[in-house]
Structure 1
Amino acid sequence: MSYNLAENLTGLTENEVEASRQRYGYNRLEAIRKNTWFDLLIGILKEPMLILLIIISVIYVIVGDYGEAAFMFVAIVAVTAISFYQDNRSKKALEELEKLNEPLSTVIRNSKAVEIPTHEIVVGDLCITEEGRIINADGVIVHSNDFSVNESSLTGESFSVFKDNKSEDNLVYSGTVTVSGLAVFKVQKIGKETRVGKIGESILNIKEEISPLQIQIRKFVKWMAVVGILIFLMVCIFSYIKTGDMVTSLLSGLTLAMSVLPEEIPVAFTTFMALGAWKLMRQGIIIKRSSIVETLGSTTVICTDKTGTITENSMKLQHLYNYLSDKIYEEKEFKNDDLSELINYAMWSSEPVPFDPMEITLHKTYEETQKKDVRKEYKMFHEYPLEGKPPMMTHLFENTNTDRIIAAKGAPEAILNVSRLSETEKEKIRDVIKTFGQQGYRVLGVAKSHFEGNNFPKNQQDFDFEFLGLTVFYDPPKKGIKEVFQSIYDAGIKVKVITGDNADTTNAIALQAGIKNDAPATNGSDIIGRSEEELMQISEDTVLFTRMFPDAKLEVVNALKKKGEVVAMLGDGVNDGPALKAAHIGVAMGNKGTEIAKSAAALVITNDDLEKLIIGIAAGRRIYTNIKKAIQYIISIHIPIILTVSLPLFLGWVFPHIFTPVHVIFLELVMGPTCSIVYENEPMEKNTMQQPPRAMGDTFLSLNELGISVIQGLMITFGVLFVYQFSVQNGGDEEKTRAMVFSTLIFANILLSFVNRSFFYSVLESFRNRNPLLIGISALVLMMLLVILYVKPISLFFKVTALNINELGMAVFIAAVSVLWFEVYKYVKRIGKVKG
Structure 2
Amino acid sequence: MVTVQPPAGSDPVAGSRWHVLSRKDTLGRLDANPRGLSSEEAARRIARYGRNELAEAEATSPLRVLARQFVSPLIGILVVTFVITAVQRHWVDAGAIALVLLLNAGIGFWQERKAERSVRALKRLSAPICRVLRDGAEHELPAAELVPGDVVLLESGERVPADLRLLEVNGLQVDESMLTGEVLPVTKQVNRLPADTLSAERTNIAFSGTLVTAGRGRALVVATGADTELGMINELVQGPATRSPLEILTHSLERRIGAVVATAAVAIFAAGLVLGQDPSEMFRTAVALAVASIPESLPIVLTVAMSLGVARMARHHAVVRSLPAVETLGSTTVIGSDKTGTLTRNELTVQLIWTAGGSLDLREPGAAEAPLTSTVRRALRAGALTNEATRAPAGAFTAAGEPLDFTGDAVDVAMLRAAVRLGAVTADERDARWVAHTPYEPELRLSQTVRTEPDGRRVLYVKGSPDVLADLCTHLAGDDGDHPFDPAPVRAANERLAAEGMRVLATAMRVLDADEEVTRPLPAPTGLTFLGLQAMEDPPRPGVAEAVADCKRAGIGVVMITGDHPATAASIAARLGIGTGAPPVTGREMETLDDALLAVRLRESGVAARVTPQDKLRIVRTLQGEREIVAVTGDGVNDAPALRAASIGIAMGRSGTAVAREAADIVLTDDNFVTIVDAVKQGRVTFNAIRKATFFLLATGLSSLLAVAVNLIAEQPLLFLPVQLLFINVVTNGVQDIALAFEPPEGDELRRSPRAVGEGLLSRVLWLRTVLAGIWMAVTILVTFRWALDHGYDETHARTLTVTVFVMLNFWLVLSARAENRSLFTMNPFGNRFLLGSALGALALYWGATAWRPAAELLGFVPLSGTEWAACWGLGALILVIVEIDKFVRRRRQAGSGPGIDGRPGRGKWAVPG
Q: TM-score, normalised by structure 2?
A: 0.63
In 2, the alpha carbon distance for the partners of 1:137 and 1:744 equals 74
Indicate the residue corresponding to 1:607 in structure 2: 670
Alpha-carbon distance, 1:378 to partner: 8.0
Q: Could you list the per-position Cα deviations for residues 268-321 of structure 1 after superposition, in whole angstroms to 9, with x for gaps in the alignment? A: 445545664565356432345444434322333445466654555676546645
In 2, the alpha carbon distance for the partners of 1:183 and 1:660 equals 83
> 1:317–1:361: 8 Å Cα contact kept in structure 2?
yes
> Do residues 593 (structure 1) and 659 (structure 2) align?
no
Identity of aligned residues (%): 20
> 1:297–1:619: 8 Å Cα contact kept in structure 2?
yes
- CA separation of 1:46 and 1:831: change in aligned 2, threshold 3 A: closer
In 2, the alpha carbon distance for the partners of 1:338 and 1:46 equals 73
Indicate the residue corresponding to 1:55 in structure 2: 84
> Could you tell me which amino acid in structure 1 is paired with residue 414 of structure 2?
T
> 1:299–1:566: 8 Å Cα contact kept in structure 2?
yes
> Do residues 293 (structure 1) and 326 (structure 2) align?
yes
Indicate the residue corresponding to 2:144 in structure 1: 138
- CA separation of 1:244 and 1:29: change in aligned 2, threshold 3 A: closer
> Do residues 248 (structure 1) and 248 (structure 2) align?
no
> 1:550–1:576: 8 Å Cα contact kept in structure 2?
no
Alpha-carbon distance, 1:756 to partner: 1.4
Indicate the residue corresponding to 1:814 in structure 2: 875
> 2:587–2:610: 8 Å Cα contact kept in structure 1?
no
Q: Could you list the per-position Cα deviations for residues 789-827 of structure 1 after superposition, in whole angstroms to 9, with x for gaps in the alignment? A: 222222222222222122212211111113442112212
Indicate the residue corresponding to 1:75 in structure 2: 96
Indicate the residue corresponding to 2:713 in structure 1: 650
Alpha-carbon distance, 1:722 to partner: 1.1
Q: Could you list the per-position Cα deviations for residues 600-647 of structure 1 after superposition, in whole angstroms to 9, with x for gaps in the alignment? A: 655432202222101221232223222222222221101121233332
In 2, the alpha carbon distance for the partners of 1:375 and 1:672 equals 83
> 1:272–1:676: 8 Å Cα contact kept in structure 2?
no
**Aligned equivalent of 1:219, options 204, 227, 252:** 252
The 3-state SS of whatever aligns with 2:882 is helix
The 3-state SS of whatever aligns with 1:470 is strand
> 1:268–1:675: 8 Å Cα contact kept in structure 2?
no
Q: Could you list the per-position Cα deviations for residues 506-525 of structure 1 after superposition, in whole angstroms to 9, with x for gaps in the alignment? A: 769955x6x387x5452566
In 2, the alpha carbon distance for the partners of 1:161 and 1:343 equals 21
Unaligned runs of 5+ in 2: 1-54, 132-141, 147-151, 165-178, 181-185, 190-206, 217-224, 361-370, 393-404, 420-424, 450-459, 475-484, 509-527, 898-914
Name which of structure 1's ranges 715-724 and 609-618 shifts more when overlaid on structure 2. Answer: 609-618
Alpha-carbon distance, 1:487 to partner: 2.9
- CA separation of 1:574 and 1:426: change in aligned 2, threshold 3 A: farther
Indicate the residue corresponding to 1:177 in structure 2: 209
Indicate the residue corresponding to 1:776 in structure 2: 837
Indicate the residue corresponding to 1:155 in structure 2: none
Alpha-carbon distance, 1:707 to partner: 2.6
Alpha-carbon distance, 1:760 to partner: 0.5
Indicate the residue corresponding to 1:15 in structure 2: none
Alpha-carbon distance, 1:659 to partner: 1.3
Indicate the residue corresponding to 2:174 in structure 1: none
> 1:54–1:76: 8 Å Cα contact kept in structure 2?
no
In 1, the alpha carbon distance for the partners of 2:264 and 2:376 equals 89
- CA separation of 1:244 and 1:791: change in aligned 2, threshold 3 A: closer
In 2, the alpha carbon distance for the partners of 1:244 and 1:647 equals 15
Indicate the residue corresponding to 1:738 in structure 2: 799
The 3-state SS of whatever aligns with 1:445 is strand
In 2, the alpha carbon distance for the partners of 1:41 and 1:731 equals 49
Q: Could you list the per-position Cα deviations for residues 354-388 of structure 1 after superposition, in whole angstroms to 9, with x for gaps in the alignment? A: 467654333555855536487999899x989xxxx
The 3-state SS of whatever aligns with 1:684 is coil
In 2, the alpha carbon distance for the partners of 1:702 and 1:336 equals 63
In 2, the alpha carbon distance for the partners of 1:379 and 1:368 equals 20
**Aligned equivalent of 1:444, options 485, 504, 507:** 504
In 1, the alpha carbon distance for the partners of 2:505 and 2:859 equals 85
Q: Could you list the per-position Cα deviations for residues 306-346 of structure 1 after superposition, in whole angstroms to 9, with x for gaps in the alignment? A: 66545556765466457xx8876876869977766544556
> Could you tell me which amino acid in structure 2 is paired with residue 75 of structure 1?
A
> 2:143–2:161: 8 Å Cα contact kept in structure 1?
no
The 3-state SS of whatever aligns with 1:608 is coil
- CA separation of 1:234 and 1:565: change in aligned 2, threshold 3 A: closer
**Aligned equivalent of 1:628, options 685, 688, 691:** 691
In 2, the alpha carbon distance for the partners of 1:124 and 1:488 equals 41
> Do residues 370 (structure 1) and 430 (structure 2) align?
yes
> 2:390–2:407: 8 Å Cα contact kept in structure 1?
no
- CA separation of 1:524 and 1:481: change in aligned 2, threshold 3 A: closer
In 2, the alpha carbon distance for the partners of 1:126 and 1:375 equals 39
In 2, the alpha carbon distance for the partners of 1:246 and 1:576 equals 62
Equivalent residues in 2 for 1:463-502, closer than 5 Å = 470-473=533-536, 478-481=541-544, 483-496=546-559, 500=564
Indicate the residue corresponding to 1:797 in structure 2: 858
- CA separation of 1:749 and 1:572: change in aligned 2, threshold 3 A: same
**Aligned equivalent of 1:230, options 214, 239, 263:** 263
- CA separation of 1:344 and 1:629: change in aligned 2, threshold 3 A: same
Equivalent residues in 2 for 1:345-744, closer than 5 Å = 347=388, 354=407, 359-364=412-417, 367-370=427-430, 372=432, 428-433=489-494, 443-446=503-506, 470-473=533-536, 478-481=541-544, 483-496=546-559, 500=564, 515=577, 519-520=580-581, 522=583, 528=589, 531-532=593-594, 536-542=599-605, 545=607, 548-550=609-611, 554=616, 565-573=628-636, 584-595=647-658, 597-598=660-661, 601-653=664-716, 655=717, 657-670=718-731, 673-674=734-735, 677-744=738-805
Alpha-carbon distance, 1:690 to partner: 0.7
- CA separation of 1:639 and 1:608: change in aligned 2, threshold 3 A: same
Indicate the residue corresponding to 2:18 in structure 1: none
In 2, the alpha carbon distance for the partners of 1:580 and 1:426 equals 47
> 1:419–1:466: 8 Å Cα contact kept in structure 2?
no
In 2, the alpha carbon distance for the partners of 1:582 and 1:373 equals 56
How many equivalent residue pairs? 712
- CA separation of 1:618 and 1:538: change in aligned 2, threshold 3 A: same
Alpha-carbon distance, 1:834 to partner: 3.2
The 3-state SS of whatever aligns with 1:587 is strand
Unaligned runs of 5+ in 1: 1-26, 62-67, 106-117, 129-135, 153-157, 164-174, 185-192, 385-392, 399-404, 449-464
In 2, the alpha carbon distance for the partners of 1:557 and 1:358 equals 33
In 1, the alpha carbon distance for the partners of 2:295 and 2:468 equals 69
The 3-state SS of whatever aligns with 1:138 is helix
Equivalent residues in 2 for 1:84-233, closer than 5 Å = 86=107, 90=111, 95=114, 138=144, 144-145=155-156, 148=160, 177-178=209-210, 180-181=212-213, 208-233=241-266
> 2:686–2:741: 8 Å Cα contact kept in structure 1?
yes
Alpha-carbon distance, 1:251 to partner: 2.0
Q: Could you list the per-position Cα deviations for residues 649-693 of structure 1 after superposition, in whole angstroms to 9, with x for gaps in the alignment? A: 22111x2x2212211111220466347632332223222211111
The 3-state SS of whatever aligns with 2:251 is helix
In 1, the alpha carbon distance for the partners of 2:324 and 2:293 equals 27
> Could you tell me which amino acid in structure 2 is paired with residue 138 of structure 1?
A
Indicate the residue corresponding to 1:10 in structure 2: none
> 1:419–1:447: 8 Å Cα contact kept in structure 2?
no
Alpha-carbon distance, 1:228 to partner: 3.0
The 3-state SS of whatever aligns with 2:762 is coil
> Do residues 261 (structure 1) and 294 (structure 2) align?
yes
> Could you tell me which amino acid in structure 1 is paired with residue 835 of structure 2?
L
Indicate the residue corresponding to 1:452 in structure 2: none
> Could you tell me which amino acid in structure 1 is paired with residue 848 of structure 2?
V
Q: Could you list the per-position Cα deviations for residues 220-248 of structure 1 after superposition, in whole angstroms to 9, with x for gaps in the alignment? A: 32333233333333333332343363322
In 1, the alpha carbon distance for the partners of 2:388 and 2:883 equals 70
In 2, the alpha carbon distance for the partners of 1:375 and 1:273 equals 64
Equivalent residues in 2 for 1:322-337, closer than 5 Å = none
- CA separation of 1:747 and 1:667: change in aligned 2, threshold 3 A: same
